[in-house]
Amino acid sequence: MRDALLRAFRRAFPDIEPTHISRAPGRVNLLGAHTDYNEGYVLPVAIDRAVYVVAAASDEPLLELVAADIGERVAVRLADLEAGHDVEGSPLPRWARYPVGVAWALLGRGLAVWGIRAVFGGDVPIGSGLSSSAAVEVAFAALWQEIGGWELPSSELAKLARLAENEYVGVGCGIMDQFASVHGRAGHAILLDSRSLEWESVPLPPGTIIVVADTRTHHELASSEYNTRVRQCHEAVRRLSERLPGIRALRDLTPEALERNRDLLDDTLYARARHVVDENRRVLEAVEALRRGDAATVGDLMKRSHISSRDLYETSCEELDAMWEAAIEHPACYGARLTGAGFGGATVNLVLAEGLDDFVAHIRARYRGKTGIEPAIIPVESADGAWASAL
Protein backbone atom coordinates (compact mmCIF):
# COMPACT_ATOMS: atom_id res chain seq x y z
CA MET A 1 0.00 0.00 0.00
CA ARG A 2 2.84 2.42 0.83
CA ASP A 3 4.48 1.95 -2.57
CA ALA A 4 1.16 2.23 -4.41
CA LEU A 5 0.39 5.54 -2.69
CA LEU A 6 3.86 6.87 -3.38
CA ARG A 7 3.26 6.16 -7.08
CA ALA A 8 -0.18 7.77 -6.86
CA PHE A 9 1.34 10.84 -5.23
CA ARG A 10 3.88 11.27 -8.00
CA ARG A 11 1.14 10.98 -10.60
CA ALA A 12 -1.00 13.55 -8.81
CA PHE A 13 1.86 15.95 -8.02
CA PRO A 14 4.59 15.19 -10.59
CA ASP A 15 6.81 18.14 -9.67
CA ILE A 16 6.81 17.56 -5.89
CA GLU A 17 8.52 14.99 -3.71
CA PRO A 18 6.54 13.66 -0.73
CA THR A 19 7.97 14.48 2.69
CA HIS A 20 5.85 12.48 5.16
CA ILE A 21 3.78 9.35 5.55
CA SER A 22 1.28 8.23 8.18
CA ARG A 23 -0.73 5.11 8.85
CA ALA A 24 -3.78 4.49 11.04
CA PRO A 25 -5.53 1.13 11.43
CA GLY A 26 -9.19 0.36 11.18
CA ARG A 27 -10.79 -1.46 14.05
CA VAL A 28 -13.29 -4.16 14.75
CA ASN A 29 -15.35 -4.14 17.91
CA LEU A 30 -15.63 -7.48 19.69
CA LEU A 31 -18.23 -6.16 22.13
CA GLY A 32 -19.74 -2.85 23.13
CA ALA A 33 -22.41 -2.11 20.54
CA HIS A 34 -23.42 1.57 20.76
CA THR A 35 -22.12 1.91 24.31
CA ASP A 36 -19.38 4.45 23.69
CA TYR A 37 -21.60 7.49 23.15
CA ASN A 38 -23.45 6.38 26.28
CA GLU A 39 -20.18 6.77 28.23
CA GLY A 40 -19.91 3.02 28.69
CA TYR A 41 -17.42 0.22 28.04
CA VAL A 42 -16.19 -1.06 24.68
CA LEU A 43 -13.82 -3.80 23.57
CA PRO A 44 -12.31 -2.92 20.18
CA VAL A 45 -9.32 -4.41 18.36
CA ALA A 46 -7.13 -2.42 15.97
CA ILE A 47 -6.64 -4.49 12.83
CA ASP A 48 -4.11 -4.96 10.05
CA ARG A 49 -6.28 -3.04 7.59
CA ALA A 50 -5.30 0.61 7.51
CA VAL A 51 -5.43 4.03 5.87
CA TYR A 52 -2.17 5.59 4.69
CA VAL A 53 -1.45 9.22 3.86
CA VAL A 54 1.50 10.27 1.72
CA ALA A 55 2.02 14.02 1.81
CA ALA A 56 4.29 16.95 1.09
CA ALA A 57 4.27 19.84 3.55
CA SER A 58 3.79 23.28 2.03
CA ASP A 59 4.15 26.87 3.17
CA GLU A 60 1.05 27.71 1.13
CA PRO A 61 -2.12 27.72 3.33
CA LEU A 62 -3.87 25.21 1.12
CA LEU A 63 -4.95 21.58 1.43
CA GLU A 64 -4.78 19.66 -1.84
CA LEU A 65 -6.24 16.24 -1.18
CA VAL A 66 -6.51 13.22 -3.44
CA ALA A 67 -8.63 10.21 -2.46
CA ALA A 68 -6.79 7.47 -4.32
CA ASP A 69 -9.44 4.81 -3.75
CA ILE A 70 -12.15 6.78 -5.55
CA GLY A 71 -10.04 8.90 -7.88
CA GLU A 72 -11.32 12.28 -6.66
CA ARG A 73 -9.46 15.46 -5.83
CA VAL A 74 -10.24 18.66 -3.94
CA ALA A 75 -8.42 21.83 -2.87
CA VAL A 76 -9.38 23.81 0.25
CA ARG A 77 -7.91 27.00 1.67
CA LEU A 78 -7.12 26.83 5.36
CA ALA A 79 -8.96 30.13 5.73
CA ASP A 80 -12.14 28.51 4.39
CA LEU A 81 -12.36 25.45 6.62
CA GLU A 82 -15.25 26.82 8.65
CA ALA A 83 -17.23 27.53 5.48
CA GLY A 84 -16.89 23.95 4.26
CA HIS A 85 -16.26 24.70 0.61
CA ASP A 86 -13.42 24.18 -1.84
CA VAL A 87 -11.42 26.82 -3.68
CA GLU A 88 -14.16 27.03 -6.33
CA GLY A 89 -16.83 27.70 -3.72
CA SER A 90 -18.46 24.27 -4.07
CA PRO A 91 -19.51 22.28 -0.98
CA LEU A 92 -16.94 19.72 0.05
CA PRO A 93 -17.66 16.13 -0.95
CA ARG A 94 -18.32 13.91 2.04
CA TRP A 95 -14.99 12.05 1.78
CA ALA A 96 -13.09 15.34 2.06
CA ARG A 97 -14.90 16.42 5.20
CA TYR A 98 -13.00 13.86 7.29
CA PRO A 99 -9.44 15.18 6.71
CA VAL A 100 -10.61 18.79 6.43
CA GLY A 101 -12.54 18.35 9.69
CA VAL A 102 -9.35 17.20 11.39
CA ALA A 103 -7.54 20.34 10.23
CA TRP A 104 -10.45 22.41 11.54
CA ALA A 105 -10.35 20.64 14.94
CA LEU A 106 -6.59 21.01 15.30
CA LEU A 107 -6.67 24.70 14.43
CA GLY A 108 -9.47 25.19 16.93
CA ARG A 109 -7.16 23.77 19.57
CA GLY A 110 -4.52 26.33 18.58
CA LEU A 111 -2.18 23.79 16.97
CA ALA A 112 -0.10 24.43 13.87
CA VAL A 113 -1.63 22.96 10.72
CA TRP A 114 0.57 23.14 7.65
CA GLY A 115 -0.69 23.28 4.13
CA ILE A 116 -0.23 19.92 2.45
CA ARG A 117 -0.51 18.11 -0.81
CA ALA A 118 -1.66 14.63 0.13
CA VAL A 119 -2.81 11.36 -1.36
CA PHE A 120 -4.58 8.88 0.89
CA GLY A 121 -6.07 5.44 0.59
CA GLY A 122 -6.00 2.04 2.18
CA ASP A 123 -7.48 -1.40 2.51
CA VAL A 124 -10.14 -0.72 5.17
CA PRO A 125 -13.40 -1.56 3.36
CA ILE A 126 -15.66 1.50 3.30
CA GLY A 127 -19.03 1.02 4.97
CA SER A 128 -18.21 -2.38 6.41
CA GLY A 129 -18.17 -1.38 10.08
CA LEU A 130 -14.37 -1.37 10.34
CA SER A 131 -14.21 2.38 10.89
CA SER A 132 -12.55 3.61 7.73
CA SER A 133 -13.62 7.15 8.62
CA ALA A 134 -11.82 7.13 11.98
CA ALA A 135 -8.72 5.67 10.32
CA VAL A 136 -8.73 8.61 7.87
CA GLU A 137 -9.13 11.10 10.70
CA VAL A 138 -6.40 9.59 12.87
CA ALA A 139 -3.99 9.20 9.94
CA PHE A 140 -4.30 12.91 9.13
CA ALA A 141 -4.10 13.94 12.79
CA ALA A 142 -0.89 11.93 13.19
CA LEU A 143 0.46 13.40 9.96
CA TRP A 144 -0.09 17.01 11.04
CA GLN A 145 1.41 16.28 14.44
CA GLU A 146 4.56 14.94 12.77
CA ILE A 147 4.78 17.85 10.31
CA GLY A 148 3.97 20.50 12.91
CA GLY A 149 6.47 19.27 15.48
CA TRP A 150 3.95 19.51 18.31
CA GLU A 151 2.90 16.57 20.46
CA LEU A 152 -0.34 15.78 22.20
CA PRO A 153 -1.11 12.93 24.57
CA SER A 154 -2.46 10.12 22.41
CA SER A 155 -5.89 10.28 24.02
CA GLU A 156 -6.12 13.98 23.16
CA LEU A 157 -5.31 13.21 19.54
CA ALA A 158 -8.15 10.69 19.51
CA LYS A 159 -10.50 13.27 21.05
CA LEU A 160 -9.73 15.82 18.33
CA ALA A 161 -10.24 13.23 15.60
CA ARG A 162 -13.60 12.42 17.15
CA LEU A 163 -14.46 16.13 17.36
CA ALA A 164 -13.94 16.37 13.61
CA GLU A 165 -16.49 13.62 12.99
CA ASN A 166 -18.99 14.93 15.55
CA GLU A 167 -18.91 18.62 14.76
CA TYR A 168 -17.59 18.90 11.21
CA VAL A 169 -18.88 15.75 9.51
CA GLY A 170 -22.00 15.68 11.68
CA VAL A 171 -21.97 12.07 12.91
CA GLY A 172 -22.56 11.70 16.63
CA CYS A 173 -20.10 8.86 17.18
CA GLY A 174 -18.40 8.07 20.45
CA ILE A 175 -14.67 7.94 21.05
CA MET A 176 -14.11 4.21 20.48
CA ASP A 177 -13.12 4.19 16.80
CA GLN A 178 -10.52 6.93 16.99
CA PHE A 179 -9.22 5.68 20.34
CA ALA A 180 -8.66 2.17 19.04
CA SER A 181 -6.92 3.48 15.94
CA VAL A 182 -4.51 5.46 18.11
CA HIS A 183 -3.92 2.92 20.89
CA GLY A 184 -4.03 -0.47 19.18
CA ARG A 185 -1.65 -3.20 20.33
CA ALA A 186 -0.93 -6.37 18.39
CA GLY A 187 -2.23 -9.51 20.09
CA HIS A 188 -4.65 -7.57 22.26
CA ALA A 189 -8.08 -6.04 22.50
CA ILE A 190 -8.61 -2.72 24.28
CA LEU A 191 -10.94 -2.33 27.24
CA LEU A 192 -11.93 1.33 27.13
CA ASP A 193 -14.01 3.27 29.61
CA SER A 194 -15.55 5.85 27.29
CA ARG A 195 -16.18 8.27 30.14
CA SER A 196 -12.82 8.42 31.88
CA LEU A 197 -10.79 7.19 28.89
CA GLU A 198 -9.04 4.78 31.22
CA TRP A 199 -8.00 1.76 29.21
CA GLU A 200 -6.00 -1.40 29.28
CA SER A 201 -4.82 -3.98 26.77
CA VAL A 202 -6.38 -7.42 27.18
CA PRO A 203 -4.82 -10.48 25.49
CA LEU A 204 -6.85 -12.19 22.80
CA PRO A 205 -7.51 -15.91 23.28
CA PRO A 206 -4.73 -18.18 22.00
CA GLY A 207 -5.58 -20.36 19.03
CA THR A 208 -8.29 -18.03 17.74
CA ILE A 209 -8.59 -15.71 14.79
CA ILE A 210 -10.94 -12.81 14.14
CA VAL A 211 -12.88 -12.97 10.89
CA VAL A 212 -14.76 -10.00 9.47
CA ALA A 213 -17.62 -11.02 7.19
CA ASP A 214 -18.71 -8.09 5.02
CA THR A 215 -22.30 -8.49 3.85
CA ARG A 216 -21.64 -6.12 0.92
CA THR A 217 -24.75 -4.20 1.86
CA HIS A 218 -24.64 -0.64 3.07
CA HIS A 219 -28.11 0.73 3.70
CA GLU A 220 -28.56 4.47 3.28
CA LEU A 221 -30.44 4.77 6.56
CA ALA A 222 -27.35 3.86 8.60
CA SER A 223 -26.18 7.43 9.32
CA SER A 224 -29.63 8.83 10.06
CA GLU A 225 -30.60 5.87 12.23
CA TYR A 226 -27.30 6.09 14.11
CA ASN A 227 -28.06 9.68 15.04
CA THR A 228 -31.61 8.67 15.96
CA ARG A 229 -30.25 6.10 18.41
CA VAL A 230 -28.03 8.75 19.99
CA ARG A 231 -31.04 11.03 20.47
CA GLN A 232 -33.15 8.19 21.89
CA CYS A 233 -30.52 7.35 24.47
CA HIS A 234 -30.22 10.97 25.53
CA GLU A 235 -33.99 11.21 25.81
CA ALA A 236 -34.11 8.09 27.97
CA VAL A 237 -31.55 9.65 30.30
CA ARG A 238 -33.50 12.91 30.42
CA ARG A 239 -36.67 11.14 31.46
CA LEU A 240 -35.00 8.84 33.96
CA SER A 241 -33.09 11.71 35.56
CA GLU A 242 -36.41 13.15 36.76
CA ARG A 243 -36.43 10.36 39.32
CA LEU A 244 -32.72 9.46 39.29
CA PRO A 245 -30.91 12.82 39.42
CA GLY A 246 -27.47 11.21 39.69
CA ILE A 247 -27.40 9.77 36.19
CA ARG A 248 -25.90 11.63 33.26
CA ALA A 249 -25.68 8.75 30.78
CA LEU A 250 -27.09 5.25 30.38
CA ARG A 251 -23.75 4.00 31.67
CA ASP A 252 -24.89 5.09 35.15
CA LEU A 253 -28.02 2.95 35.05
CA THR A 254 -28.18 -0.44 36.78
CA PRO A 255 -30.53 -3.15 35.51
CA GLU A 256 -32.51 -2.89 38.74
CA ALA A 257 -32.93 0.89 38.48
CA LEU A 258 -34.05 0.57 34.87
CA GLU A 259 -36.76 -1.93 35.80
CA ARG A 260 -37.96 0.12 38.78
CA ASN A 261 -38.37 3.18 36.58
CA ARG A 262 -39.56 1.57 33.38
CA ASP A 263 -42.83 3.52 33.59
CA LEU A 264 -40.92 6.69 32.64
CA LEU A 265 -40.04 5.28 29.21
CA ASP A 266 -42.06 4.21 26.23
CA ASP A 267 -41.38 0.79 24.75
CA THR A 268 -38.79 2.04 22.27
CA LEU A 269 -36.77 4.03 24.80
CA TYR A 270 -36.90 1.14 27.26
CA ALA A 271 -35.56 -1.25 24.62
CA ARG A 272 -32.69 1.08 23.76
CA ALA A 273 -31.77 1.53 27.43
CA ARG A 274 -32.06 -2.20 28.14
CA HIS A 275 -29.62 -2.99 25.35
CA VAL A 276 -27.03 -0.46 26.53
CA VAL A 277 -27.23 -1.50 30.18
CA ASP A 278 -26.85 -5.19 29.32
CA GLU A 279 -24.13 -4.56 26.74
CA ASN A 280 -21.94 -2.77 29.28
CA ARG A 281 -22.16 -5.82 31.53
CA ARG A 282 -21.32 -8.11 28.62
CA VAL A 283 -18.14 -6.16 27.90
CA LEU A 284 -16.90 -6.48 31.47
CA GLU A 285 -17.78 -10.17 31.59
CA ALA A 286 -15.91 -10.71 28.32
CA VAL A 287 -12.79 -9.03 29.68
CA GLU A 288 -12.74 -11.42 32.62
CA ALA A 289 -13.13 -14.32 30.19
CA LEU A 290 -10.29 -13.03 28.01
CA ARG A 291 -8.02 -12.87 31.04
CA ARG A 292 -8.77 -16.57 31.57
CA GLY A 293 -8.27 -17.36 27.88
CA ASP A 294 -11.91 -18.50 27.77
CA ALA A 295 -12.91 -18.07 24.12
CA ALA A 296 -16.18 -19.99 24.55
CA THR A 297 -17.56 -17.49 27.08
CA VAL A 298 -16.49 -14.54 24.96
CA GLY A 299 -18.23 -16.14 21.98
CA ASP A 300 -21.45 -16.68 23.91
CA LEU A 301 -21.45 -13.03 24.97
CA MET A 302 -20.97 -12.00 21.34
CA LYS A 303 -24.01 -14.06 20.32
CA ARG A 304 -26.11 -12.43 23.02
CA SER A 305 -24.89 -9.02 21.90
CA HIS A 306 -26.11 -9.65 18.36
CA ILE A 307 -29.53 -10.79 19.56
CA SER A 308 -29.83 -7.66 21.69
CA SER A 309 -28.71 -5.41 18.83
CA ARG A 310 -31.26 -7.08 16.57
CA ASP A 311 -34.23 -7.15 18.93
CA LEU A 312 -33.76 -4.23 21.33
CA TYR A 313 -31.56 -1.72 19.52
CA GLU A 314 -32.89 -2.65 16.07
CA THR A 315 -29.64 -2.06 14.23
CA SER A 316 -29.44 -5.31 12.34
CA CYS A 317 -30.93 -6.12 8.94
CA GLU A 318 -31.80 -9.18 6.88
CA GLU A 319 -28.31 -9.54 5.45
CA LEU A 320 -26.53 -9.21 8.80
CA ASP A 321 -28.84 -11.76 10.36
CA ALA A 322 -28.22 -14.17 7.49
CA MET A 323 -24.46 -13.84 7.95
CA TRP A 324 -24.73 -14.26 11.72
CA GLU A 325 -26.91 -17.36 11.42
CA ALA A 326 -24.47 -18.91 8.96
CA ALA A 327 -21.57 -18.24 11.33
CA ILE A 328 -22.98 -19.56 14.58
CA GLU A 329 -24.04 -22.87 13.03
CA HIS A 330 -20.41 -23.72 12.23
CA PRO A 331 -18.53 -25.67 14.95
CA ALA A 332 -15.34 -23.60 14.61
CA CYS A 333 -17.18 -20.38 15.47
CA TYR A 334 -17.12 -19.42 19.14
CA GLY A 335 -19.34 -16.41 18.57
CA ALA A 336 -20.42 -13.71 16.15
CA ARG A 337 -22.19 -10.38 16.14
CA LEU A 338 -22.75 -7.37 13.95
CA THR A 339 -20.03 -4.78 14.25
CA GLY A 340 -20.05 -1.06 13.59
CA ALA A 341 -23.23 0.99 13.43
CA GLY A 342 -25.28 -1.78 11.82
CA PHE A 343 -27.86 -1.60 9.01
CA GLY A 344 -25.49 -3.49 6.74
CA GLY A 345 -21.75 -3.70 6.92
CA ALA A 346 -20.12 -6.65 8.61
CA THR A 347 -20.20 -9.22 11.35
CA VAL A 348 -17.21 -9.99 13.56
CA ASN A 349 -16.56 -13.66 14.26
CA LEU A 350 -14.28 -15.29 16.82
CA VAL A 351 -13.10 -18.50 15.20
CA LEU A 352 -10.92 -21.47 16.11
CA ALA A 353 -7.84 -20.91 13.96
CA GLU A 354 -7.50 -24.51 12.82
CA GLY A 355 -11.05 -24.47 11.46
CA LEU A 356 -10.66 -21.20 9.57
CA ASP A 357 -10.70 -22.44 5.99
CA ASP A 358 -13.81 -24.56 6.41
CA PHE A 359 -15.55 -21.76 8.33
CA VAL A 360 -14.88 -19.25 5.56
CA ALA A 361 -16.11 -21.64 2.87
CA HIS A 362 -19.22 -22.42 4.90
CA ILE A 363 -20.37 -18.88 5.61
CA ARG A 364 -19.59 -17.74 2.07
CA ALA A 365 -21.76 -20.49 0.59
CA ARG A 366 -24.56 -20.17 3.14
CA TYR A 367 -24.77 -16.38 2.90
CA ARG A 368 -24.69 -16.41 -0.90
CA GLY A 369 -27.41 -19.04 -0.93
CA LYS A 370 -29.65 -17.01 1.40
CA THR A 371 -29.15 -13.57 -0.15
CA GLY A 372 -27.72 -14.02 -3.64
CA ILE A 373 -24.88 -11.67 -2.64
CA GLU A 374 -21.19 -12.59 -2.79
CA PRO A 375 -19.71 -11.56 0.58
CA ALA A 376 -16.19 -10.47 1.42
CA ILE A 377 -14.72 -12.68 4.13
CA ILE A 378 -11.66 -11.09 5.72
CA PRO A 379 -9.55 -12.80 8.39
CA VAL A 380 -7.76 -10.01 10.27
CA GLU A 381 -4.92 -9.79 12.74
CA SER A 382 -4.71 -7.38 15.64
CA ALA A 383 -2.32 -4.49 15.02
CA ASP A 384 -0.48 -1.63 16.63
CA GLY A 385 -1.90 1.89 16.55
CA ALA A 386 -1.25 4.89 14.32
CA TRP A 387 2.15 6.28 13.40
CA ALA A 388 3.64 9.01 11.22
CA SER A 389 7.16 9.72 10.05
CA ALA A 390 9.26 11.75 7.65
CA LEU A 391 10.19 10.05 4.41
Residues annotated as catalytic (active site), given as ranges: 177
Whole-angstrom distance, CA of residue 323 vs CA of residue 176: 24
* Angle (deg, nearest 10), helices 356-371 and 318-328: 140
DSSP output for 62-126: EEEEEETTTTEEEEEEGGGTTTTB-TTSPBPPHHHHHHHHHHHHHHHTT----EEEEEEEESS-T
Q: Count CB atoms within 10 A of the CB of residue 207.
A: 11
The DSSP symbol for 326 reads: H
Residue 202 to residue 188: CA distance in whole angstroms: 5
Cα dist from 172 to 7, 168, 202, 371, whole Å:
35, 10, 27, 31
Cα 210 off chain centre by: 16
Cβ contact 377:211 at 8 Å:
yes
Q: What is the DSSP letter of 169?
A: I
CB-based contact 68:120 (threshold 8 Å) = yes
Q: How far is CA 170 from the centre of its chain?
A: 15
